[in-house]
Structure 1
């Protein structure tokens, strides 16, 4: 039998784990981790330039290096995600020029070779040498959320086995897995922020471009403490139940 306190802790921990998984999954699948915005006057001048359409075509269909697609994102109010890079383009094309056209997001996904490609001290310049710190941070920000989701999935399997066996003992393993998943989620956010900061030091955006954190990053940031709180509840339930069981056994023996 499981005490009501332990059952409540398990239920609350499961709800927190589910919320964290949903938040992290949405964050990984969306592109609003970091966004660039130009001041309106500069943006209108850039859009009036005939090179804008060429930039869009190269961004979508070309095999651009890091420097090239970063410059395009600076000029066209781009957003950056773990698996996506996006720019803002006019949603509809007319034979006349609209004074204030509606803009839509056009995204291109990073391929698997691009995720594991080397980063250079001068973005886009292979002769400048590989920047190992940025290279491994980029790879970690891609792999760590997958590891976090895998750990949560594994912990759910352990939890199902615990329910089938009617035992709280495997809950200790569930708590440890959730703790590791929370650390991986936090590591994802830290690697992304550090990587963006290092990129801006090597290739700083124009003065007219403002950078800001996006809502996708905040979802990933929220998922980390939720996973850790779930881990704390699971660990508390497992340890408290074990103590109660030990005391009960000792009482019966006595």
Structure 2
């Protein structure tokens, strides 16, 4: 039989884990980790059209798509890169065209392409290359750990055992570390990118809401891990004392 305190801790920990999983999943699937704002750039003319076509249909080149995002209010995510362009107008020219977001996803092979110290050169930047790879692998590892902990929890319920709860807490602890590592790798890699490829004057960058969702998932996972670990440890101590009392 489980004490009400431990049962409450398990329920709260499960809710926190579910919230963290939803937040992290949304963050991974959305492109708003970092966004550029270039209000002084005109979205009309042949230059903007060429940039849009190269961005959507051109070959994958880091320098090209970064320049396009600088000039067309781009946003960057773990799996997506987007720009803000005028919607396709009719035969007449609209005085104030509506803007729409067009996104292109990073393919799996593109995620493993080496990064270079200076865009356009061929001197590989190993630090930025591995930061880029870690920033999209770590959240997948985090979600996998949470999924594995859920399976362990289900097995514990079926076996009516409280012992696996300790493993669930450890898995959530590792998942929280991976979530924090994702944000750190993304910010570090972005800072190195801006050092080698400085945005044009007037272009401002800011953190997006997707990054904050990933950042919020970290304390939620850590709190869930703390609750699971506390419940497993306290229940084990209580069970040991009860066993010793019965033997005595």
Per the TM superposition, whether the score is higher than 0.5 is yes
In structure 1, how many angstroms separate the alpha carbons of the residues matched to 2:172 and 2:234? 18
Q: How many residues align?
A: 248
Please give the secondary structure, in 2, of the residue aligned with 1:169.
coil
Give 2:124's aligned residue: 130
Please give the secondary structure, in 2, of the residue aligned with 1:95.
coil
Does 2:183 correspond to 1:225?
A: no
1:228-247 matches, within 5 Å, as: 228-247=222-241
1:16-27 matches, within 5 Å, as: 16-27=16-27
CA contact (8 A) 1:17 1:230 kept: yes
Please give the secondary structure, in 2, of the residue aligned with 1:220.
helix
Give 2:35's aligned residue: 35
Give 1:95's aligned residue: 91
Higher mean displacement: 116-125 or 181-190: 116-125
Superposed CA RMSD in Å reads 0.8
Deviation of 1:96 (Å): 2.2
TM-score by length of 1: 0.96
Give 2:189's aligned residue: 195
Give 2:176's aligned residue: 182
CA contact (8 A) 1:68 1:124 kept: no
Deviation of 1:131 (Å): 0.3
TM-score by length of 2: 0.98
In structure 2, how many angstroms separate the alpha carbons of the residues matched to 1:96 and 1:215? 36
In structure 2, how many angstroms separate the alpha carbons of the residues matched to 1:124 and 1:100? 36
Deviation of 1:144 (Å): 0.2
Please give the secondary structure, in 1, of the residue aligned with 2:118.
coil
Unaligned runs of 5+ in 2: none
Give 2:160's aligned residue: 166
In structure 1, how many angstroms separate the alpha carbons of the residues matched to 2:139 and 2:75? 19
Give 1:72's aligned residue: 68
In structure 2, how many angstroms separate the alpha carbons of the residues matched to 1:124 and 1:188? 27
In structure 1, how many angstroms separate the alpha carbons of the residues matched to 2:16 and 2:116? 40
Unaligned runs of 5+ in 1: none
In structure 1, how many angstroms separate the alpha carbons of the residues matched to 2:44 and 2:159? 68
Deviation of 1:38 (Å): 0.8
Deviation of 1:191 (Å): 0.3
